[in-house]
Chains A and B, each alone.
Chain A
């Protein structure tokens, strides 16, 4: 079952049947079991409450609309992309396991993780996976590289309106140039990781309530 301290990582073989198939039937207050957790039991319960609160029509899954109703995301420059990240592979709905899977990336890294059995797949909140999640925010077309164009798009999202298009292009150029090592004009995941090696990604991408 779910032990609070151990987090066997999520792997496809363990996934329960998707909730979304059950139309209209609401599970009871307890979260669906069994569920190899990427977060602790207590957080799971809370996330389930949150999932139910967001799912206003009690459909059993969340659509983009539901996530768009979170007001705070509307004024977050990356709001759309964050919402998109919940819907991988073009699906239109996200069920509870999928919801948790995304949020599990933000679980704080604890020290006991360092001595992991190398054969087990990496936990979702490892540094690499966190970086991968962030990488995917840039890389919309999922080609494994951040092209200059994609960088420019992100920049546009994040910078105020006073900056001209030309300046933005310069910045995008420079950014790609700094990180690009093999000269292909785009930033691959490895290059991305390398450019951020000094940064404390584990702390930046951790939310303490997801412990």
Chain B
């Protein structure tokens, strides 16, 4: 049914396109015949008035050439979007094949139409347009949504694999093809070494992220995910650098004149280009982070700043012949952390969505162009070259994967298994990048360009379709889960419990990482960078109002879904029910099983989840919120009953102001529960529906004892990097009166931002849920004063 809709849309658009093309042909014919002087077809009306004064003023004119380029481009993009809608409507399809398959098909379709109507397609893609406009958004999106913590933890392996892998692949394929070309029988004698090397470099540009969506459900572990992502990120940059270098070589010398000096210079240049690009990116990232510090009054331009600076870094690097791709990647990575804290919520969302949109448009255009070139007359088919290209691509990828990982496994704490390596090998799917590079080969230097283009297209089609479709089953096969179809309800429940348990214990264990370097960087970051780059006083009012708005909505939702009524977590309610055991019929069992499977909470995704084409759906956020709310309720309930959860102690942080009372004092436990028990009675603060997170406290004057006043540190985890910041300003308000006995006991729901990399379906920043809790504490001195602490629930 969905496919039918899609087909209808598709055919509608085809119809539209056909109609437009026919008209354009008609009108251009008419124009040419009537007015041969004007080149760019002016409006027929003008033509009429200048050369044919007798002509009537026509009421209805058609001028297609004026709008041709934007019109067709828009139509293409729309067509692709409609196809995507149809693609996702049929919900099993995204799991079967990567979305790039779809885009290629749409492109081929458009190409077919254009070819069929003999229409001259507008020159959308030439070198400058591609490198200046189409490529940067794609790279920016990749860099922005990259999860930083796993990236930096694995950076050694990633660099080793991405850089060396690309080099080995490029050189290997180039050299092998050169050897093949030497064989006279294939008729390829005129393709020299440089051209082969160039071809090798452009064909080794992989786009593995495209297949990530396919094996999302099979829980790929985080390391593997990061390797694939990192490779995709750096691979583009490296291949483009290689490509440009080799083109420069081709232009500069005749093949025979290349000396070892040149090769050395080439290598040095390679390194400089790479490193220089990264430096540029970092500098620009810091500048833009700094500027966003001051934009609180004109938040509408914040996205603009982010995009313009990233783009600027790209352009500036390109000016100096450094690698713009690496620059823009580094800029995005650097900027992201600080910008996210500085910009307003809406700007943040805007940035994310706009980035996705831009990159999606670029990629669509490239694929469509690829489709257009497929169906056409400019191909040169050479069996030997093409087959050997395909073979060598696979062979060299296998060699590079297994060799490089063998070496890096010696140094890794968690080596990659053979299964992981197979997945990495098989995910070497080529994408838009290689096609663009092939298409942009200068014809003057490459007389056999058509053959290269054909070969590239074949490789892309092969890898995208065949590898892309079969990688899903392969991964699932390798994962080998023994699923017992009919699990009893017991088993289902217990399995889910164990999954949650395992996820929880993994969280307790934390991440094994190189603490040293990370800690040092964090200290440096905390002391210097954040002071400079992060906005200081975020206005209270917006926070408070935001909180109020959220809380009300939460409250309304909760009432409607019946949480409030079913907060019968109380035990006595259950004790009364004495039930005989009912025998349940099989249908009941089935329905029970269904209820369980649908409604049990999903285990928090520890593995990253990145979808190139859309941002992550909301379900796990809702789930997380639900869990949190219920926990709050439970905790408050149990506190009310005086259970011994020593809830009352706020967290200790570096900002501890130890007042006269050391933390570990045994008396404090009793005091806390007593205080906590009393302090919770006012359940309703007239100002805010305080169901969710307000924990109220009273300042109690206790003799000679004061609990340490501690501002909890909120650790905000976004993109995987832990940002912990304390609030200096509120600390300053917290003066502790030396003489008076005041203490603010704050039974606080101690929770921090969730560390989730679940993520992101949408983005790698993984975002199931990030909670930013703020403590606005106001100490009025000299009164017994009751203050509500409202942690802020903010979705980022």
Contacts and interface: CB of A to CB of B under 8 A. Distances in A.
Interface stretch (B11-19, B64-72, B299-307, B508-516): B508-516
Interface residues of B, number: 84
A53 B562 CA distance: 40
A56 B715 CA distance: 13
B504 A160 contact: no
Given A78-B501, A78-B504, A159-B599, A71 B588 contact: no
Given A59-B664, A205-B502, A161 B653 contact: no
Contacts of B581: 173, 176-177, 185
A175 B769 contact: no
Interface in B689-727: 715, 717
Contacts of A25: none
Given A78-B501, A106-B502, A204-B499, A71 B596 contact: no
B508 A195 contact: no
Contacts, number: 213
Contacts of B752: 69-71, 74
Interface stretch (A30-38, A42-50, A120-128): A42-50
A155 B751 contact: no
Given A80-B631, A175-B493, A200-B482, A71 B601 contact: no
B604 interface: yes
B110 interface: no
Nearest to A201: B498
A9 to B, nearest CB: 19
A142 interface: no
B484 interface: yes
A129 interface: no
A106 B501 CA distance: 10
A60 B781 CA distance: 35
A37 B631 CA distance: 35
B715 A161 contact: no
Contact of B596 (A67, A157, A159, A207): A159
A72 B601 contact: no
Interface of B: 414, 482, 484, 488-491, 493-510, 512, 515, 561-563, 566, 568-569, 571, 574-575, 579, 581-584, 588-589, 592, 595-596, 599-601, 604, 623-624, 626-628, 630-631, 634-635, 644-646, 649-654, 656, 663-664, 669, 715, 717, 750-756, 768-769, 771
25 contacts: A56-B653, A57-B652, A65-B750, A73-B507, A74-B754, A75-B768, A76-B503, A80-B631, A92-B646, A103-B505, A106-B505, A138-B497, A148-B579, A149-B575, A158-B493, A159-B596, A177-B583, A195-B490, A196-B490, A199-B491, A199-B494, A207-B502, A207-B505, A207-B506, A210-B509
Given A74-B751, A152-B574, 12 more contacts: A65-B646, A70-B510, A71-B715, A75-B604, A103-B505, A134-B501, A149-B574, A160-B599, A164-B562, A173-B579, A174-B584, A196-B491
Interface of A: 23, 46-47, 49-50, 53-54, 56-57, 59, 63-65, 67-80, 82, 90, 92, 103, 106, 134, 137-138, 148-149, 152, 154-165, 167, 170-171, 173-179, 185, 195-196, 198-201, 204-210
